[in-house]
Amino acid sequence: MEHSVAATARPAKGGAAARRLRRAGQVPGIVYGEGEPRMIALDEAVLTRQLSQESFHSSILSLELDGAKVPVLLRDFQSHPVNDAVLHVDFQAVAADSKVSMTVPLHFVNADTAPGVKLSHGIFSVIEDSVGVHCLPKDLPENIEVDVGHLEINHSVHLSEVKIPAGVTFDALIRGEDPSIATVLAPKAEAEEQPAAAAAAEEGAAEAAPAAAEGAEDKK
């Protein structure tokens, strides 16, 4: 999905200028990454709608500025702590031939038909809902699909088991890490029964020990 971001240059800097922009329904921002950072302003209503879309956070965006289209990544944004109004936004300009690092969402599919869920009534649990990737801008995926339809109860899927899109590497695997990203947990009642059964077994063993000792004494 292609996202276009309309922006205008803003020459004024500082807190007072930023407050004036916000009162006028604009959001101050910055574009860095190629040459000098550029100060920009964006329509708050439009930007707020775009920020609500998952793919806006993990895609190459087309920033329309001064009659040109600049490929950028959304790097950061700040929101008001009370009313969630967008206060500032940061974009990074990217070059087609330079690799970028980005965090993209993981989409888990077929969890409801996994044997551990469907047959054993386990609970599917997401451990990591996103992953860091490294790739050229043209290869950046909006999301990565993870098929968990094979999971048995108390089994997990690791990052190394995920099909990696062409041209993409996972940051964690490069670092030698292989984290669990999802699992199927035992049903709550079963999970509670196991410690209780273990405790009962320990109690029975403790009671049997004195009786065995007494029997041994009687034989002497």
Query: Do the beta carbons of residue 143 and residue 55 sit within 8 Å?
Result: yes
Question: Is there a single domain that holds both residue 89 and residue 104?
Answer: no
Query: In the chain, how many domains are there?
Result: 2
The reported pLDDT for the residue numbered 17 is 87
The reported pLDDT for the residue numbered 11 is 79
Tens digit of pLDDT at every position of the chain (220 positions): 689 999 999 877 788 888 899 999 999 999 999 788 999 999 999 999 999 999 999 999 999 998 899 999 999 999 999 999 999 999 999 999 999 999 999 999 999 999 999 999 999 999 999 999 999 999 999 999 999 999 999 999 999 999 999 999 999 999 999 999 999 999 976 555 655 555 555 665 555 555 544 554 555 5
Question: Is there a single domain that holds both residue 62 and residue 104?
Answer: no
CATH number at residue 142: 2.170.120.20
Domain that holds residue 125: 100-186
Specify the pTM.
Answer: 0.78
CATH number at residue 46: 2.40.240.10
The reported pLDDT for the residue numbered 14 is 81
Q: Is residue 194 part of a domain?
A: no
Residue 181 phi/psi, 5° resolution? -115, -15
The reported pLDDT for the residue numbered 2 is 82
Q: Is residue 18 part of a domain?
A: yes
SS3 sequence of the chain: CCEEEECEECCCCCHHHHHHHHHCCEEEEEEECCCCCEEEEEEHHHHHHHHCCHHHHCCCEEEEECCEEEEEEEEEEEECCCCCCEEEEEEEECCCCCCEEEEEEEEEECHHHCHHHHCCCCEEEECCCEEEEEECHHHCCCCEEEECCCCCCCCEEEHHHCCCCCCCEEHHHHCCCCCEEEEEECCHHHHHHHHHHHHHHHHHHHHHHHHHHHHHHHHC
Question: Is there a single domain that holds both residue 40 and residue 21?
Answer: yes
Tell me which residue of 156, 147, 202 sits closest to 182, measured CA to CA: 156
